[in-house]
C-alpha cells in the first residue's frame, strides 16, 4: 500500500509535534512537511504535493478559509481537513464550502482525529455526529436550521473581523493584519453591528469578546 503524505499547518509547534506523533504511528501515513503560516503552506504544498493537508483556521498571516480556497484552486487534488479550536457551529459548514472535506475540533481525542483523516483519505466527508445532525438539512439543500447563532449570518470576512475585535485588536490593527484600509474595516464593523443588531461600538466589542471567550470555553470544556 502506498504511503499517504500528510501536511500539518498550525502556528503552534506543540500542536504540530503532537499531530506528527499521532500520524507517524499510523501504518500507511507519513508527515511530509509542516508549515506555520499561509505563505509557508503555499510554498510547501507546491513542493511536496501532500495527499492531505491538516489546517488550522487561525494563522498569523491570514485566515484559514482563504488558505483552503487558494490550495483548492492551485491544487484541487489535495484533500483538506480543518483541525481547529473554533466553534463548530460557526465554522464547520464554512470550511466545507471553502473546499475542505472535513472539520474536527481540537478537543477531540487523537484516535478520532486519525479516524477523520482516514475517512477523508478514503474519499468521504467528515463532520462530528453532532454537526452532521445539525447541518444535514442545509448541506442537503433543505431549509436552514433556525437555531443557528446570529453570528452565522456574518460573511467570512465579517466573521474574521469580528473574531479579531474579540481578541482586542483596534480598527487600525485589524486593517494592517488583513492588508485592508481602515475605511474598509469600519464598513465591516458597521455591517456586523447591523446584522447582530448592536447599537454601539462598545456593544460590538463586548459581544465579540464574549463570543471569543465562549468559543474558548467550549474548546476546553466540551459541549
**CA 112, CA 122: separation in Å to the nearest integer?**
15
Q: What is the pLDDT of residue 168?
A: 86
- Residues 13-71 have pLDDT tens digits of 999 999 999 999 999 999 999 999 999 999 999 999 999 999 998 888 877 888 998 89
Percent of the chain scored above 70 by pLDDT? 87
Question: Where does CATH 3.40.50.2300 sit in the chain?
Answer: 4-139
**150-221, what's its fold?**
Arc Repressor Mutant, subunit A (1.10.10)
Q: How far apart are CA 73 and CA 88, in angstroms?
A: 24
* CATH code given to domain 4-139: 3.40.50.2300
CA distance 9 to 12: 9
Q: Which residues of 3-31 are buried (b: 16+ CB within 10 A; e: fewer)?
A: ebbbbbbbeeeebbebbeebbeeeeebeb
As beta bridge partners, residue 83 has 104
Q: Where in the chain is the domain with CATH 1.10.10.10?
A: 150-221
Cα gap 14→139, rounded to integer Å: 34
pTM above 0.85?
Answer: no
Structural Rg of the chain based on CA atoms: 18
Q: 85-99, 101-115, 170-184 — which is least confidently predicted?
A: 85-99
What's the average model confidence in pLDDT over 79-105?
86
Name residue, grid cell 465554522: 91
pLDDT tens-digit profile of 160-182? 898 889 888 899 999 998 889 99
Amino acid at each position: 500500500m502506498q504511503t499517504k503524505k500528510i501536511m500539518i499547518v498550525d502556528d503552534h509547534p506543540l500542536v504540530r509535534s503532537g499531530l506528527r506523533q499521532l500520524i507517524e504511528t499510523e501504518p500507511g501515513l507519513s508527515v511530509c512537511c509542516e508549515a506555520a503560516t499561509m505563505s509557508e503552506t503555499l510554498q510547501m504544498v507546491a513542493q511536496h504535493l501532500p495527499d492531505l493537508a491538516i489546517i488550522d483556521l487561525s494563522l498569523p498571516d491570514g485566515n484559514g478559509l482563504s488558505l483552503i480556497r487558494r490550495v483548492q484552486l492551485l491544487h484541487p487534488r489535495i484533500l483538506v481537513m480543518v483541525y481547529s479550536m473554533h466553534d463548530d457551529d460557526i465554522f464547520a459548514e464554512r470550511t466545507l464550502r471553502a473546499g475542505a472535506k472535513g472539520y474536527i475540533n481540537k478537543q477531540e481525542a487523537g484516535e478520532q482525529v486519525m479516524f477523520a483523516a482516514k475517512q477523508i483519505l478514503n474519499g468521504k466527508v467528515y463532520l462530528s455526529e453532532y454537526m452532521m445532525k445539525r447541518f444535514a438539512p442545509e448541506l442537503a439543500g433543505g431549509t436552514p436550521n433556525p437555531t443557528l447563532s446570529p453570528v452565522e449570518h456574518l460573511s467570512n470576512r465579517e466573521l474574521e473581523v469580528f473574531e479579531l475585535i474579540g481578541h482586542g485588536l483596534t480598527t487600525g490593527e485589524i486593517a494592517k493584519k488583513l492588508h485592508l484600509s481602515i475605511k474598509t474595516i469600519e464598513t465591516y464593523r458597521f455591517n456586523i453591528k447591523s446584522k447582530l443588531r448592536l447599537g454601539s461600538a462598545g456593544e460590538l466589542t463586548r459581544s465579540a469578546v464574549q463570543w471569543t471567550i465562549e468559543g474558548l470555553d467550549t474548546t476546553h470544556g466540551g459541549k
